[in-house]
Structure 1
Amino acid sequence: MARGVLLAFIAFVAYSLSDASVKLLAGSIPAFELVFLGAALGLLAVPMVKGADERWSDLLRCRSRLMWCLRAVAAVAGSVFSVIAFTMLSMAEAMALLFLMPAFVTILSVIFLKEPVGWRRWSAVLVGFLGVLIVLRPGLQPFTMGHLAAILGALAGAVTIVILRALGPTEKRISLYGAGLIGPIVASFLFAAPHLVMPTPRQWIFVLGYGLLAAAGNILLQLASEHAPASQVAPAQYSQMLWAVALDALLFGIGIDLPMILGSIVIIGAGLFTFERERIRKPRWWNRHPLIRAR
């Protein structure tokens, strides 16, 4: 159990550095092109994620083709919106808004999975949105495309989680993982092709950091899930907020103010409460099912 949780924390360090690589590119490479390159590099993680009883053809095989395609579309949206958010906002601000995902998961689970949700989880949803208002400070600072992208990225991640819940008991892990790579590779290339930019040698360093560190995070998270149940591994993702604050200060010279601290605490607290409630209510397969990074 301890080894699994430790591996999860290391995985989210890798993810945080991957996100920092996006910001270091400062929007010099179009978002769709960056997502294409990152997803293509993510294919390197497939051999580690692939189960012994799974075939390479299972990357494209799914019992529900519609749901597989929806998972692919959600992966494209989550990746593109996250790149835009980290490019336009501080890492801490983008991460705080992306942590809205558990609140969106609760809402979508009620609508599409018909899950019963009690007043405690609904209260956590409302508290989470209150935290967003504290972070955004409407009327005191402008609402930018970066803020919208972060919120839409959280929504896309929630769609992915709901699809995983719907397909998890019947689909192979490699199929669900494949949709999260193949969708961004195909769709982002089609959008990026007319405006391709050749990265400079310096930019290639950050492009490789974005893709390879995310792939390393996926591998580490897969290993973590083999040593500990998902319910114990998932809360480690909130350590990304600490890394976001540290990287903002060390790499970009961006500080964090009191409203950001308070809003982040509120959002993270609501998310942790939601995870705990779902840990209690979810069937055993969900607690065993290996995690896949939603975005």
Structure 2
Amino acid sequence: MTVGLSPFRGVLIAFASYAVFAFSDASIKILHGALPAYQVAFIGSVFALTAIPFLKTANDGWLDVVRTSNRALWILRFVCGAIGAICSVVAFTELPMAEAFALLFLLPSFVTILSVIFLKEDVRWQRWTAVIIGFIGVLIVLRPGFRELSIGHLAAAIGGLSGAISIVVLRAMGPTEKRISLYGAALFGSFIISGLLMVSEFSMPTPRQWLFLASYGILGAFGNVLLMNAARLAPANLVAPPQYSQMIWAIAFGYLIFNDSIDFPMAVGIVLIIFSGLLTLARERKRGTPLPAAVTSADNQAALATAAEPSAVDQKA
């Protein structure tokens, strides 16, 4: 039996999932760097475990969360999950939310470059144009030489790159890899690597900090569940674009909560980066480029890369 798509519902759920991710990211920023980034990532991954029962299907066993058909690629996603989680925490701690998102939205451009290098994809001038537009947007946002760059900018760029590597890994592994395994790779990567880094420096959170740590992890898990449900109801080319609605939330949070401001050059750069991402998605849809399964990592920003299409396996009852 085939599960019918309900595109309109799927798109609405996708918008809701990205809103939830934005609230989760705001929880990081509210902590103001009071705790080490790897401790925040570790505790967030602990709370993210709550998503597993909701992501597990009737055909999945509990051990499938660590089983895989390609251990080397699974481990690569494991490592990228940890890097992405820690870097996203640093980025949202150090930068205005809109600026952090702008750099993380470079992910589609990174995917294009890595797909050419490692998957030998045939990329034509339209997609290269999108990549160039995206990097021009970044230069306008950063304005190197005219404003001071920080560790937050570097972390956001590395976070986007690690997310892109995860997407290329998903493409290389193919649609037969179980979603719960792909989720588990990134989740346990963040859990184990961040946990090891945390051993030498642990700060007991205050009750208020626990509240926002729980908000970060649980909302991230809830966003993952919503996004996977959206991907079951609507095709990839409809689920992916709503991710850019996070910029609206970022600007709103920045103005209302964090006293952030966006000047005109930064606004222009953000528009170019978003246009670059949308152009890349449009080209992949037209060319029928295989898209990864509906999986995001423990790092909420992996949702920026999610362009999920239900596989034949998932469509069978």
Q: How far, CA to CA, are the matches of 1:231 and 1:31 in structure 2?
A: 33
Query: Equivalent residue for 2:202?
Result: 196
2:46 maps to 1:40: yes
Q: How far, CA to CA, are the matches of 2:79 and 2:133 in structure 1?
A: 29
Q: CA contact under 8 A between 2:182 and 2:295: conserved in structure 1?
A: no
Q: CA contact under 8 A between 2:179 and 2:295: conserved in structure 1?
A: no
Question: What is the root-mean-square deviation of aligned Cα atoms in Å?
Answer: 1.2
Query: Equivalent residue for 2:275?
Result: 269
Q: How far, CA to CA, are the matches of 1:92 and 1:66 in structure 2?
A: 35
Q: How far, CA to CA, are the matches of 1:231 and 1:177 in structure 2?
A: 21
Q: TM-score normalized by structure 1? A: 0.97
Match of 1:286 among 271, 280, 291: 291
Counterpart AA for 1:253: N
Match of 1:255 among 239, 253, 261: 261
Higher helix share: 1
Q: CA contact under 8 A between 1:37 and 1:211: conserved in structure 2?
A: yes
Q: How does 1:71-86 map to 2 (within 5 A)?
A: 71-86=77-92
Match of 2:136 among 127, 130, 139: 130
Q: TM-score normalized by structure 2? A: 0.90
Q: How far, CA to CA, are the matches of 1:2 and 1:168 in structure 2?
A: 27
Question: What SS is found at the alignment partner of 1:292?
Answer: coil
Q: CA contact under 8 A between 1:103 and 1:124: conserved in structure 2?
A: yes
- CA deviations on 1:155-184 (whole Å, 9 max, x unpaired) are 011001111111132311111111011111
Counterpart AA for 2:84: G
- CA deviations on 1:230-275 (whole Å, 9 max, x unpaired) are 2210111000011000000111111211111100000000000001
> Percent identity of the aligned residues?
53
Counterpart AA for 2:236: A
Q: How far, CA to CA, are the matches of 1:130 and 1:148 in structure 2?
A: 17
Q: CA contact under 8 A between 1:230 and 1:291: conserved in structure 2?
A: no
Query: Equivalent residue for 1:114?
Result: 120
Q: How far, CA to CA, are the matches of 2:282 and 2:296 in structure 1?
A: 19
Aligned-residue offset at 1:291: 4.1
Say how many residue pairs are matched: 293
Q: Structure 2, unaligned stretches of length 5 or more?
A: 1-6, 304-317
Q: How does 1:1-295 map to 2 (within 5 A)?
A: 1-282=7-288, 286=291, 289-292=293-296, 294=302
Counterpart AA for 1:111: I
